[in-house]
Structure 1
Amino acid sequence: MTFTYLPIADMIGYSFTDWDGISPEKNNVGLKNYTDLFTRPELFKVFLVSGVYLIAAAVQICLALYFATVLSFNTKCRNLFKGILFFPYLINGVAIGFVFLYFFRPHGTLDSLLALVGIHGDHLWMGDPDLVNKSLAGVSVWRYTGLNLVLFLGAIQSIPPHLYEAAALDGANRWQQFRHIIAPSIKPVISLSAILAVSGSLAVFEIPYIMTGGANGSQTFVIQSINMAFKFDKFGLASASAVVLIILILFVTWIQRRLVPEERVELS
Structure 2
Amino acid sequence: MAPYRRGPGTDLASTPQGRRLGSTVLRFLVPLFVLLLARDAFAQCLGDGVQVFPTPGAIVPINSRFLLEGVGTAREPVVALVGKKLRLVADGHEAEVKAQRGWESSLGRATIILKVVGKLEADKRYTLRIDEALPNVALLNGRGGAVLPEWHTGKGADTQPPRWLKRPAVSEGFLRRTAQGTARFVRLNLSLREESPAYLVVKLEPRRPGPSVQQYVVPVTNNAAFIGHEACSGTFAMEDGRSYRARIEAFDAAGHNAPPVPPVDFEAPADYSAQ
Q: Same fold (TM over 0.5)?
A: no
More strand by share: 2
> Would you tell me which structure has more helix in proportion to its own residues?
1
Q: Which has the higher contact order (CA 8 A, sep 6+)?
A: 1
Greater C-alpha radius of gyration = 2
Q: TM-score, normalised on structure 1? A: 0.25
Q: What TM-score, normalized to structure 2?
A: 0.24
